[in-house]
Amino acid sequence: MKINNFNSVGMNPYKKNLEKSAELSKTTAKQDKVEISSAAKDLQTNEVSKARQEKINEIKSQIENGTYTVDPKAVAKGLLNFYQK
């Protein structure tokens, strides 16, 4: 099979496309930016989070002491309530 060379030897269209995409990526470099609203900041320092942290610390100390017990009925009830919704 003979393939005739119609295009010039020094021209590679794929390389040209890669160069164009590289230029576009350099010029359109975007940066992500996150802004936290004042309402969200209030939620982070709310009384609920302080009470939750106290409860977590209490449970941690019970686990370390070996006095923490799990109520299987409460767990089963919670699972049922979750999956019934």
pLDDT single digits (tens) 7-34: 555 667 677 777 777 777 666 556 788 8
Q: How far is CA 56 from CA 14, 41, 42, 69, in A?
A: 59, 21, 20, 14
Q: How far is CA 12 from CA 9, 20, 40, in A?
A: 8, 13, 54
pLDDT of residue 29: 59
Higher pLDDT, 27 or 39: 39
Percent of the chain with pLDDT strictly greater than 90? 36
pTM of the predicted protein model: 0.38
Cα dihedral 5, 10, 12, 13, rounded to 10, equals -90
pLDDT of residue 16: 75
Q: Which has the closest alpha carbon to 68: 59, 77, 57?
A: 59
**59 with 68: CB under 8 angstroms?**
yes
